[in-house]
Chains A and B, each alone.
Chain A
Amino acid sequence: MSQAPSTTAPLLEIDSVGKAYGGTPVLHALSLSLHAGEVLALTGENGAGKSTLSKLICGLERPTQGRLRLAGQAYAPATRQEAERLGVRMVMQELGLVSTLTVAENLFLGRMPSRAGWLRRGVLRAAARQQLAKIGLDDIDPATPVSRLGIGQQQMVEIARNLQDDTRVLVLDEPTAMLTPRETSRLFEQIARLTARGVAIVYVSHRLEELRRIADRVAVLRDGRLVDLRAMAGLSEADLVQRMVGRSVSELEHRPRRRAGAVLLRAEGLGRGTVVQDVRLEVRAGEVFGIAGLVGSGRTELLRLLFGADRADSGTLVLNDDAGEVQRRIPRGFASPVQAIAAGIGLVAEDRKSQGLLLSQSIRINATLSDLAAVSRGGWLRSAHEHTLVRGFIERLRVRCRGSEQPVGQLSGGNQQKVVFARWLHRSTRVLLLDEPTRGVDVGARADLYAELDQMACDGRGLLMVSSDLRELMAMADRIGVMSAGRLVAVFERGEWTESLLLSAAFSKSSEPGKAVATESPAS
Chain B
Amino acid sequence: MNTYVTSQAAAAPVWRTQLGTFIGLAAVLVGMVALFSWLSEYFWSRETFVTIANEIPALAVMAVGMTFVLIIAGIDLSVGSVMALSAATSAAAILQWHWSVPAAAVLALATGLLCGAVTGAVSVAWRLPSFIVSLGMLEAVRGSAYLVTDSRTQYVGDAISWLAAPVLDGVSSAFVLAVLIVIVAQLVLSRTVFGRSMVGIGTNEEAMRLAGVDPRPIRIAVFALIGLLAGLAGLMQSARLEAADPNAGTGVELQVIAAVVIGGTSLMGGRGSVITTAFGVLIIAVLEAGLAQVGASEPSKRIITGAVIVAAVIVDTLRQRRGAA
Residues of A within 8 A of B (CB): 21-22, 307, 309, 336-338, 340-342, 347, 349, 354-362, 365, 369-373, 376, 379-381, 383, 394-395, 398-407, 423, 427
B1 → A minimal CB distance (Å): 6
Choice from B14, B193, B194 contacting A405 with Cβ under 8 Å: B14
Contact between chains at B6 and A370 (CB < 8 Å):
no
Query: For residue A372, which residues in chain B have a CB less than 8 angstroms away from its CB?
Result: 193, 196-197, 213
Query: For residue A405, which residues in chain B have a CB less than 8 angstroms away from its CB?
Result: 11-15
Contact between chains at A369 and B211 (CB < 8 Å):
yes
Q: A356-B207, A358-B207, A379-B192 are in contact. List 9 more A-B contacts (CB 8 A).
A: A341-B211, A358-B203, A358-B270, A361-B14, A372-B193, A380-B191, A403-B5, A404-B11, A405-B14
Choice from B2, B7, B193, B214 contacting A373 with Cβ under 8 Å: B193
Contact with A along B304-325 (1 / 0, CB 8 A): 0000000000000000000001
Residue of B nearest to A394 (CB): B4
Task: Say whether chain A's binding surface is mostly helix, strand, loop, or mixed.
Answer: mixed
Choice from B1, B4, B199 contacting A401 with Cβ under 8 Å: B4
Contact between chains at A402 and B194 (CB < 8 Å):
no
21 contacts between A and B (CB under 8 A): A22-B325, A336-B209, A336-B214, A337-B211, A338-B213, A341-B211, A341-B212, A355-B206, A358-B199, A358-B203, A361-B14, A365-B200, A369-B207, A373-B193, A383-B191, A400-B6, A402-B6, A402-B11, A403-B12, A405-B12, A423-B211
Contact between chains at A402 and B5 (CB < 8 Å):
yes
Choice from A340, A361, A406 contacting B200 with Cβ under 8 Å: A361
B212 → A minimal CB distance (Å): 4
- Our count of residue pairs bridging A and B at CB distance below 8 angstroms stands at 116
Query: For residue B4, which residues in chain A have a CB less than 8 angstroms away from its CB?
Result: 394-395, 398-401
Query: For residue B15, which residues in chain A have a CB less than 8 angstroms away from its CB?
Result: 405
Closest 8 CB pairs of A and B: A341-B212, A403-B11, A358-B203, A369-B211, A372-B193, A405-B12, A402-B10, A376-B193
Alpha-carbon distance between A309 and B203 when the two chains are bound, in angstroms: 19
Query: For residue B219, which residues in chain A have a CB less than 8 angstroms away from its CB?
Result: none
Alpha-carbon distance between A398 and B6 when the two chains are bound, in angstroms: 11
Alpha-carbon distance between A309 and B197 when the two chains are bound, in angstroms: 19
Contact between chains at B6 and A337 (CB < 8 Å):
no
Asked if B100 is at the interface of the complex by the 8 Å CB criterion, the answer is no
Alpha-carbon distance between A407 and B211 when the two chains are bound, in angstroms: 18
Alpha-carbon distance between A22 and B2 when the two chains are bound, in angstroms: 24
Contact between chains at B209 and A337 (CB < 8 Å):
yes
Asked if B210 is at the interface of the complex by the 8 Å CB criterion, the answer is yes
Contact between chains at A407 and B13 (CB < 8 Å):
yes
Contacting A at CB under 8 A, from B163-211, are 191-194, 196-197, 199-200, 203-204, 206-211
